[in-house]
């Protein structure tokens, strides 16, 4: 599925909870793991959901990756090549002989 999910699921007899996270890259939800790679166990559903939401927020706010490379690196390299240019640089208007920005009308041409 093409969606993010963060949720808690009861484990055992319902007194313990596990937090799960599904990302776009994963086919199914994966448990949030603690020390030693074992799924974290929570005493109540609220703390499990909070942990899952924190992990989801961290995942969404990471640096973007394209073809296995961090996008910020390519942007920095491209910006280094054009460091003397400003994004809003405009051509200056040429002033005419009368100094008002346009050439003086020379009348009709025949």
| Strand-pair category, 65-66 with 16-22 | unpaired
Q: Per the domain annotation, does 90 fall within a domain? A: no
Structural domain for 21, as ranges = 5-65
97: in domain: no
Q: Is residue 45 part of a domain?
A: yes
Entry pTM: 0.56
Taking the C-alpha atoms of residue 106 and residue 40, their distance in angstroms, rounded to an integer, is 84
Task: Tell me how many domains the chain contains.
Answer: 1
Q: In a structure prediction context, what are the per-residue pLDDT tens digits for the chain, which is 110 residues long?
A: 578 889 999 987 778 999 999 988 777 899 999 989 999 999 999 999 999 999 999 888 876 666 666 666 667 777 777 777 665 655 555 555 655 555 555 556 55
């Amino acid at each position: 599925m093409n969606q993010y999910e963060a949720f808690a699921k009861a484990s055992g007899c319902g007194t313990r909870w596990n937090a799960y996270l599904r990302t776009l890259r994963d086919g199914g939800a994966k448990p949030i793991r603690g020390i030693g790679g074992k799924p974290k166990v929570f005493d109540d559903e609220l703390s499990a959901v909070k942990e899952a939401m924190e992990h989801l927020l961290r995942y969404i706010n990471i640096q973007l990756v394209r073809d296995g490379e961090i996008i910020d690196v390519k942007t920095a390299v491209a910006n280094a090549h054009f460091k003397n240019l400003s994004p809003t640089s405009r051509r200056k208007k040429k002033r005419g002989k009368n100094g008002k920005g346009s050439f003086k009308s020379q009348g009709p041409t025949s």
